[in-house]
Chains A and B, each alone.
Chain A
């Protein structure tokens, strides 16, 4: 099976600082790949390259085996890669429907409505309700302002939106970092359901419990290279921490 998204020998340097020094990894459709590492290991540089925010210095990114190079986050988005950053990028006073459809509003059918940009509010609300229900989020009312939702519900809205509009790869940056235990559990459930629909998920996190709970495999970055790729019985808290801290010597660089 060919990978949905793969990177080969990716490097990135800022002046003399080597942020990534040759990283290769891949993620399949329907798989959750964890990317872990200490501060400065190269996690956010990797995220920025994959989401189209910056270009790599060398190496290539393959989407469905085709080399891609994203000129902007919008281009990455267009190609089917969505990123949910920690700040979620929700408009707080706007309701759930407006946030869910932001940038992809559905217009009413006739030509006059299309000319003036008349929104098909009813269809948008119905679609939001059904999408959120399908992913089993706990958002009680799609007419609530997004700032009136709980932290877990906001995160769920951002993930559901990204999943609904991209379909290929979902990049999640620390999705549970600001949440309570119960809400973390909810978000992780949602991540499982999104991947079960065939979306390749890359979860960037320093919460070992998250990685152990939802990831099929985990890539440990250390000082800009892959220290280890762990899966199955090897994917344990001790191993993750060992490779992250360097207590266990890297075996893949």
Chain B
């Protein structure tokens, strides 16, 4: 029998300070992008007396909620090694679908039966997001089609469906209480959409960092082979991840519809790239396996502050897109430099 006991090997043991350094590196990486956001806020506050005002906060925060909800879903997808290009188009379609349901139900109805109509409209929007999420997830997980191709396809399909509902026009024949809900706020400072988004974001942050679902999302993105060998049903989790992304696009559609008082097929057109940019600026790896919700929140913050801040300091609005694109490339480049430096150690 092999019973020879050998003493514990002492060689090959990393010194403790080395281990601590490696751990703190991850924290520093998360913090520096938060520092960028803070610097932007300070710079815009100095440049414009209107930046740190209630009006600008309400404006910035309510537009940021749409991007943030998409970015939160996108974080799970990107951590799992995928990409969801369809979220913006799904947002547009889901909002139009919700508004279409409400307009059909309201036609010829006396005012007063609104609550049911609004509830059905909201449910329709979320269901539309869910349906597209399921389709994306199924095609990625079971049909094995690359996520980029699948979601580029559903981007086109969702856009087309959105236009088909009302010949490309927005649908504004919806109950007035929807707009009241979308523009209401608590204590003058916390818009209802911001509150809803905050609750969902915190929940998803815990879901990614503290639950088995989040652990599997990250592990699938890191090494799908390792996950499969461990006996985990990777397809089921991929389906759930893309479905979550679709559902959040549906919820974002409800909030946009409530803010604008209409369902417009174009309403998510620019949110798509902003959401992906927010996730990547927040430190998630496009190769999967790494990412946090707090990073995506900061990334969304940077984009939102850039968009409104540039307007306030009188930069022509077309420069916004340029700024977001430049920040995206710079953030990824800096992250790559850090990783390269780390891996040479």
Contacts and interface: CB of A to CB of B under 8 A. Distances in A.
A137 B213 CA distance: 29
B215 A98 contact: yes
B212 A117 contact: yes
| A-B complex: 4 closest residue pairs judged by Cβ atoms | A103-B230, A117-B212, A91-B222, A141-B19
Interface of B: 1-6, 8-16, 18-20, 22-23, 207, 210-213, 215, 218-219, 222-223, 225-227, 229-232, 285, 289-290
A90 B12 contact: no
Contacts of A152: 12
B212 A102 contact: no
Given A78-B231, A193-B6, 16 more contacts: A30-B1, A31-B1, A73-B229, A91-B218, A91-B222, A91-B227, A93-B218, A93-B290, A102-B230, A116-B207, A121-B210, A140-B16, A141-B22, A152-B12, A192-B6, A216-B1
A119 interface: yes
Interface of A: 30-32, 73-74, 77-78, 85, 87, 89-94, 98-99, 102-105, 107, 116-119, 121, 136, 138, 140-141, 143-145, 148, 150, 152-153, 182-183, 185-186, 189, 192-193, 195-196, 214-216
Contact of B231 (A77, A91, A141): A77
Contact of B2 (A103, A121, A214): A214
A119 B9 contact: no
8 contacts: A102-B227, A118-B210, A136-B8, A138-B11, A150-B12, A186-B12, A192-B6, A216-B1
B211 A94 contact: no
A138 B230 contact: no
Nearest to A138: B13
The interface centre, meaning the residue of B222, B227, B232 with most chain A CB atoms within 10 A of its CB, is B222
A119 B210 contact: yes
A121 B8 CA distance: 27
Nearest to A83: B229
The interface centre, meaning the residue of A78, A93, A119, A150 with most chain B CB atoms within 10 A of its CB, is A93
Contacts of A105: 212, 215
Contacts of A90: 223, 226
B7 to A, nearest CB: 8
